């Protein structure tokens, strides 16, 4: 009996090691183990990531003075306490305007692993992305001039920008605001049990989660959901039909070929409702729809459950963020007026 | 020379000690040195403060699901990164409605030292206060039923309420939500250099700040701005005249005798604009107006500057708050709809 027991353990171990090989072969990648390795991976040539810039970016991320009204910050729609999202179908912005394209706020966690930002993938990186909502009339609605005047009137901010962007005059520009936010957001990654599994600790996932991973690979979900983001590496077409609740709605039509950026599947447990239009609240329903609409396969209820069990294991460790104390406005700071 | 030097030091020391005695005699009080002493001072009989309840209250304070829309939290208007305020003249709430009374959001920091909450002092304590904005149609706009159903549908919240309010069935009630928030807010006090001065470290204030304190006491500012909050201990009438920008505006008329609750002066550097209607942005202007309108005295520009220098020394140490990870909604959680 003891001998049989050991054989089972050995056999299971081999199977697990094989599953890990399959996952890596399917393109799934773990988040690097150290912050330095992460930064080496995500840092862009145009925006070196320094501790000072990360801290400045964190302040800006939480500062509602980046909006015309003075009451909407990046964290309003990409709430770090709520999985990096707002938990509603479509974003609400300046003067309570709903997103006219009916678009759901994507999570900021692990967004750095996306090859392109926004649902239509029109933005090449997070710094470019960050400058969008700041100026968008239905989001934060501030002009470049007003924003630069406001932040540039606050001595502590000016000093921090001059430290993070040495030699640049002026240092407080919309581009540098966005770059600092990018540096902070690059740290918002959430390694978890699945990463430990991919790094070689095959016991980091439960038996049921490993079964789910196996189905996930076998059903070819990894065709789009791969890489370090487990999604985010491509833009894909999907059927423009009313039978699926995630069809394009409002004026959103995807990119010029009608494609939508594949999102990360990490922390799916925290980021409902799903799809670019926030139309689906259940992981199981989202899995069923994707299999049918994207892969053109029917999967059984059991398989839906198995895949969903695996997806729930993608919840990672959310970074611990201390609320930054924001520098105070001065007599020369243009005053926000939410009703203007 | 050395002997004269020592005599100056001795004499200055005596003067400082005397100023401290005068400050205490004028009713100014330091924040207790330890958290336990603070809790002993602020704890109400009906709401024992425990670490579990503080943590629960912190989660609720940051949770936008306490609003009908799902996007406004306590922290939206009482932003801990911005001195506990929103930095705009009058609060903006549900569906971007401006506060119809034109009222400015008071700071949450040190609010526990106020004898009554809201500008008209109608609320006896923080738990009573917290339940107001949650239900107010121009603030968070949620009904008791909807709120209790929402929070009560989230298992982690239910467990935490049952731990903090043992034996109560149901534990998730509007009253207990407000009590947990009160427990958290009771910890939001900001001891600083002035407290160290009052505790006996007479070198904690600079010479100019001590001069300002001396003028502050001599001009009788301490008649209303006293106690641990340096204000917050009474409601006071003020001239209902148009000559002062802080006259009642909109439909706000104070309490039934036309009186307004005296606010804390702590962290004034962080909480502009000032007065219940947020009409004044400069500390100097606020000081000048108060002297003339409330004390009926004319004070020189030098005295205004001296008092303002002292007031700036009332900026304290803001507690370090880690953003709480909020428990996720479930399939049975009623979904927020910001457009409803």
- Are the Cβ atoms of A81 and B270 closer than 8 angstroms? no
Q: What is the mean pLDDT of residues A154-168?
A: 98
CA nearest to A55, candidates A187, A189, A190: A187
Q: How far is A90 from chain B (nearest CA, A)?
A: 9
* Residues of A with catalytic roles: 139
Q: Among all residues of chain A, which has the CA nearest to that of B281?
A: A331
Tell me whether 0.85 is exceeded by the ipTM: yes
Q: What is the mean pLDDT of residues B15-34?
A: 95
Partners of B236 in the beta sheet? B260
The answer to whether residue B335 scores a pLDDT higher than 70 is yes
Percentage of residues of chain B with pLDDT beyond 70: 95
CA distances from B61 to B44, B50, B74 (A): 19, 16, 5
CA distance B86 to B89: 9
A74 CB contacts (<8 Å, ≥6 apart)?
A: A60, A61, A62, A66, A108, A130, A133, A181
Catalytic residue among B22, B43, B55, B139: B139
Q: What is the DSSP string of A182-216?
A: HHHHTT----BHHHHHHHT-GGGS-HHHHHHHHHH
The answer to whether residue A227 scores a pLDDT higher than 90 is yes
The answer to whether residue B16 scores a pLDDT higher than 60 is yes
CB B171 within 8 Å of CB B159: no
Q: What is the DSSP string of A39-108?
A: HHHH-BTTB---HHHHHHHHHHHH-GGGSSSS---HHHHSBGGGTTB-SSSS-B-GGGPBPTT-PPPPPS
CA distance B299 to B289: 10
Query: Dihedral of the CA atoms B290, B296, B300, B303 (nearest 10)?
Result: -50
The pLDDT assigned to B2 comes to 63
Provide the angle, in degrees to the nearest 10, between the axes of the packed helices A126-135 and A174-185: 120
CB atoms inside a 10 Å sphere around CB B17 = 12
The answer to whether residue A123 scores a pLDDT higher than 80 is yes
- pLDDT per residue as tens digits for the range B42-69: 999 999 999 999 999 999 999 999 999 9
Confidence of residue B243 (pLDDT cuts 50, 70, 90): low
Percentage of residues of chain B with pLDDT beyond 90: 82
CA distance B85 to B278: 11
B185 CB contacts (<8 Å, ≥6 apart)?
A: B57, B61, B108, B111, B112, B126, B130
Q: What is the DSSP string of B255-278?
A: STTS-EEPPP-TTGGGSPSBTTTT
| Contact list, A322 vs chain B (CB under 8 Å) | 320-323
CA distances from A7 to A2, A76, B339 (A): 9, 54, 60
- pLDDT per residue as tens digits for the range B122-167: 999 999 999 999 999 999 999 999 999 999 999 999 999 999 999 9
The answer to whether residue A242 scores a pLDDT higher than 70 is no
- Are the Cβ atoms of B322 and A326 closer than 8 angstroms? no
Q: How far is A6 from chain B (nearest CA, A)?
A: 39
The answer to whether residue A10 scores a pLDDT higher than 90 is no
| Contact list, A321 vs chain B (CB under 8 Å) | 322-323
Specify the residue for token string 């329903």: A285
Q: How far is A198 from chain B (nearest CA, A)?
A: 26
The pLDDT assigned to B3 comes to 72
- Are the Cβ atoms of A69 and B92 closer than 8 angstroms? yes
The answer to whether residue B1 scores a pLDDT higher than 60 is no
Interface test with B, best of A80, A96, A270 (most B CBs within 10 A): A96
| Contact list, A70 vs chain B (CB under 8 Å) | 86-88
Q: Which two tokens stand for residue A13?
A: 């171990």
Tell whether A328 lies on the interface with B, counting CB pairs under 8 A.
yes
CB atoms inside a 10 Å sphere around CB A297 = 10
The answer to whether residue B258 scores a pLDDT higher than 90 is no
Q: Is the peptide bond before B310 cis (omega within 30 degrees of 0)?
A: no
The pLDDT assigned to A251 comes to 72
Q: How far is B240 from chain A (nearest CA, A)?
A: 26
SS3 (DSSP) at B280: strand
Q: Whole-model pTM?
A: 0.95
The pLDDT assigned to B31 comes to 98
SS3 (DSSP) at B331: coil
Tell whether A321 lies on the interface with B, counting CB pairs under 8 A.
yes
Q: How far is A17 from chain B (nearest CA, A)?
A: 33
CB atoms inside a 10 Å sphere around CB B231 = 23
| Contact list, B65 vs chain A (CB under 8 Å) | 87
- pLDDT per residue as tens digits for the range A278-330: 999 999 999 999 998 888 888 999 999 999 999 999 999 999 999 999 999 99
The pLDDT assigned to A293 comes to 86
- Phi-psi region for residue B232, left (φ > 0), alpha (ψ -120 to 50) or beta? left
CA nearest to B216, candidates B114, B295, B106: B295
- Are the Cβ atoms of A318 and B325 closer than 8 angstroms? yes
Which residue in the set A71, A77, A335 is minimally distant from B76, CB to CB? A71
SS3 (DSSP) at B92: strand
Residues 57-116 (A) with a CB less than 8 A from some CB of B: 62-65, 69-71, 76-77, 79-83, 86-88, 92, 95-96, 98
The pLDDT assigned to B250 comes to 63
Which residue in the set B86, B322, B328 is minimally distant from A270, CB to CB? B328
């Amino acid at each position: 009996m003891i001998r049989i027991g050991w054989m089972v353990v050995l056999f299971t171990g081999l199977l697990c090691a094989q599953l890990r090989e399959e996952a890596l072969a399917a393109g799934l990648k773990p988040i690097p183990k150290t912050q330095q390795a992460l930064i080496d991976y995500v840092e862009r040539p145009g925006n070196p990531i320094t501790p000072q810039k990360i801290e400045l970016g964190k302040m800006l991320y939480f500062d509602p003075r980046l909006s015309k009204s003075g009451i909407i910050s990046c964290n309003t729609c990409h709430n770090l306490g709520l999985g990096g999202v707002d938990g509603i179908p479509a974003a609400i912005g300046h003067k309570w305007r709903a997103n006219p394209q009916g678009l759901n706020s994507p999570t900021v966690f692990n967004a750095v692993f996306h090859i392109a930002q926004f649902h239509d993938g029109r933005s090449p990186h997070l710094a470019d992305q960050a400058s969008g909502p700041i100026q968008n009339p239905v989001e934060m609605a501030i002009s470049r001039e007003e924003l630069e005047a406001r932040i540039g009137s606050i001595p502590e901010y000016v000093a921090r920008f001059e430290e993070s962007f040495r030699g640049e005059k002026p240092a407080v520009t919309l581009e540098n605001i966005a770059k600092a936010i990018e540096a902070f957001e690059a740290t918002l990654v959430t390694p978890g049990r699945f990463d430990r599994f991919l790094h070689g600790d095959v016991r980091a996932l439960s038996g049921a989660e490993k079964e789910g991973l196996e189905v996930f690979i076998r059903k070819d979900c990894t065709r789009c959901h791969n890489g370090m983001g487990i999604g985010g590496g491509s833009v894909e077409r999907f059927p423009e039909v009313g039978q699926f609740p995630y069809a394009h709605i409002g004026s959103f039509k995807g990119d010029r070929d009608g494609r939508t950026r594949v999102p990360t599947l990490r922390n799916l447990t925290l980021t409902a409702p799903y799809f670019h239009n926030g139309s689906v609240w259940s992981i199981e329903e989202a899995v069923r729809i994707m299999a049918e609409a994207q892969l053109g396969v029917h999967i059984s209820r059991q398989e839906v459950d198995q895949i969903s069990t695996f997806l729930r294991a993608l919840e990672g460790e959310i970074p611990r963020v201390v609320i930054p104390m924001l520098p105070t406005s001065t007599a020369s700071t243009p005053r926000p007026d939410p009703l203007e």
